[in-house]
Amino acid sequence: MFACPTCSSQYSDIVSLSLHYRKTHKSTAQNLYVALNYNGAEPSCKCGCGSPVKFLDITRGFRDFKAGHQSRVLNNFQTEKSRNNSIATRRKMIESGSFKPFHLKETGKHWGEGLTKETDERIRKMTEAVSLPEESARRSERLRRNRLSGLVRTLHKEEHSQWKGGIAPLSVYCRANIRLYSEWKYPLLCAAGFKCSLCKAERDLEVHHDKEEFSEILHHFAKAAGWDGLFYSSLPDNDPTAIAMKDIISSAVATHHIRNNVSGVVLCQGCHKAEHKRLKSSDIQL
């Protein structure tokens, strides 16, 4: 016998009880199944992700896994080696152009091309989801792990979408050095708690050279590399020779900062400008 969890009615089969429950108590078969078998708490995916699972009917109950999650725990053929091989194959297909993720077969274009959050509901929902602090932090951490593991390659020079042929001035080129940021600037920002040391602002932060001037450091290594003659010649900045020399100077400047622990103070843009009443023309030229 099957007893109704709301009243004292009893029925010989679960289907009859379900009909009574839905008609008399104005509820659903899903709520009845949960009350009878889960003490009022709906089950979640057995892979451990915590996602809700689909309710089938009063006789079969809930699915064990959310769609696509069963392979996480029951796929005996999925190993670390097979996953790495799959990733490598996928990457080669993307690089060769034989596989284009998110591109429509009918048109060959990305499904979201030309769409905006004002014109498409999917884009609007994606935009709102990405803007949430917890989602932003989750994506940032995932990207960091993927870069460290090599799954996502860091693109440099010609590979990067914003590369313009190496036309950036030498000063900008050196300031953008990844080692200069990660091994000199970033530790100073962390030590300062990502706040301006004067006004405690938390935005638009920069590192001010309070003892050695950046322009003097740059001049020293630029002259040692023979950049002066190159600078005053007719050789364009994006020439391979100029780019190669920029790399040499940029690396030397970064190494000097790191090895000598060059003193720096974290300031916001406003406070930083106040520290420099005027910029030296030499720093602008470089």
pLDDT at 184: 95
In-domain check, residue 41? yes
pLDDT at 179: 93
DSSP bridge pairs for 61: 57
pLDDT at 8: 81
Does the pLDDT value for residue 125 go beyond 70? yes
In-domain check, residue 34? yes
Q: Which of 54-63, 142-151, 225-234 has the highest mean pLDDT?
A: 54-63
Which of 38, 62, 86 is the endpoint of a domain?
Answer: 62
pLDDT at 258: 95
| Rounded percentage of the chain residues whose pLDDT exceeds 90 | 36
In-domain check, residue 183? yes
Does the pLDDT value for residue 278 go beyond 50? no
Does the pLDDT value for residue 174 go beyond 50? yes
**pLDDT by residue (tens digit) across 70-124?**
877 766 666 778 778 888 888 888 888 888 888 888 888 888 888 998 999 989 9
pLDDT at 24: 92
In-domain check, residue 217? yes
DSSP bridge pairs for 62: 55
pLDDT at 183: 94
In-domain check, residue 159? no
In-domain check, residue 274? yes
In-domain check, residue 135? no
In-domain check, residue 235? yes
- Confidence at 280, pLDDT banded by 50, 70, 90: very low
Which of 13, 31, 62 is the endpoint of a domain?
Answer: 62
Per the structure, the count of domains in the chain is 2
CB 250 within 8 A of CB 193: no
**The two three-digit tokens of residue 84, written as one number:** 């790495």
pLDDT at 232: 55
**pLDDT by residue (tens digit) across 249-265?**
999 999 999 999 999 99
Please compute the mean of the pLDDT values over residues 34-51 and round it to a whole number. 87
Q: Which residues lie closer than 8 Å to 151 by C-beta, 6 or more apart?
A: 87, 145
Does the pLDDT value for residue 285 go beyond 50? no
Which of 43, 62, 81 is the endpoint of a domain?
Answer: 62
Does the pLDDT value for residue 141 go beyond 70? yes
Taken in order 183, 188, 194, 196, the sign of the CA dihedral is negative
DSSP helix/strand/coil, 203: coil
Domain range for 240: 170-285
pLDDT at 86: 83
Q: What is the distance between the alpha carbons of residues 21 and 9, in angstroms, rounded to a whole number?
A: 10
